């Protein structure tokens, strides 16, 4: 399992925020459910191979629990298949499931326009790996930091328009089927999302 250097800082921030939540009274606790369409744009780096990972569009579901009008925890759920290239040549595909938990601060909670920022942790599991006809595989898990910024805009009643951008740190090693190291691969996608939310 690959541990990104950003993990320790993100974990410290989440821990500090969690301590603040324990101390704060539960005011206006509410659930918000959002459905988004995501554009996943990897910012990949690899060595010694020159690996590329395709941009993809995918649906996403997220759940946000508001402990106070300003503070919430969001869990995002999505999965997608990416094509992988080496020096521009297609070598196969890999799927990943990257659930991400973020501690958020929401500004101007009483207004129709509600911007927010978030910081948290990502756990990615790779599956259905099909690289070089089965000759190559990857480490199956990755843990790293995540940050986000976005806004909810009230459309009517409890319905909201949501626009969101995230940066997630994901990395793995490419190996032979026998387990020999071939190349590192940092995917580190920026994820742009737009969708609708409903607040209960």
Predicted confidence pLDDT, tens digits, the chain (200 residues): 444 444 444 444 444 444 444 444 434 559 999 999 999 999 999 999 999 999 999 999 999 999 999 999 999 999 999 999 999 999 999 999 999 999 999 999 999 999 999 999 999 999 999 999 999 999 999 999 999 999 999 999 999 999 999 999 999 999 999 999 999 999 999 999 999 999 99
- H-assigned helices in 63-149: none
Q: What is the largest CA-CA distance in the chain?
A: 57
- Which residue is listed with tokens 């911007």? 115
Show the domains of the chain with their CATH numbers. 2-20+27-199 (2.40.160.20)
pTM assigned to the model: 0.81
- For residues 174, 178, 180, 183, the Cα torsion angle rounded to the nearest 10 degrees is -20
């Amino acid at each position: 399992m690959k541990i990104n250097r950003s993990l320790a800082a993100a974990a410290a921030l989440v821990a500090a925020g969690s301590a603040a939540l324990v101390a704060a009274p539960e005011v206006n606790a509410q659930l918000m459910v959002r459905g988004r369409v995501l554009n996943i744009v990897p910012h990949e780096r690899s060595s010694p191979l020159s690996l590329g990972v395709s941009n993809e569009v995918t649906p996403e579901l997220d759940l946000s629990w508001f402990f106070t009008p300003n503070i919430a925890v969001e869990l995002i759920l999505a999965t997608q298949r990416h094509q992988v290239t080496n020096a521009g040549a297609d070598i196969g595909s890999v799927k990943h499931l990257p659930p991400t938990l973020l501690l958020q601060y929401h500004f101007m909670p009483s207004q129709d326009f509600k911007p927010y920022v978030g910081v948290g942790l990502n756990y990615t599991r790779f599956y259905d790996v099909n690289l070089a006809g089965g000759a190559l595989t990857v480490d199956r898990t990755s843990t790293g930091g995540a940050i986000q910024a976005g806004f909810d805009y009230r459309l009517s009643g409890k319905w909201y328009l949501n626009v969101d951008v995230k940066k997630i740190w994901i990395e793995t090693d490419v190996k032979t089927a026998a387990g020999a190291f071939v190349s590192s691969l940092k995917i580190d996608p920026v994820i742009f999302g737009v969708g609708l939310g409903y607040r209960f």
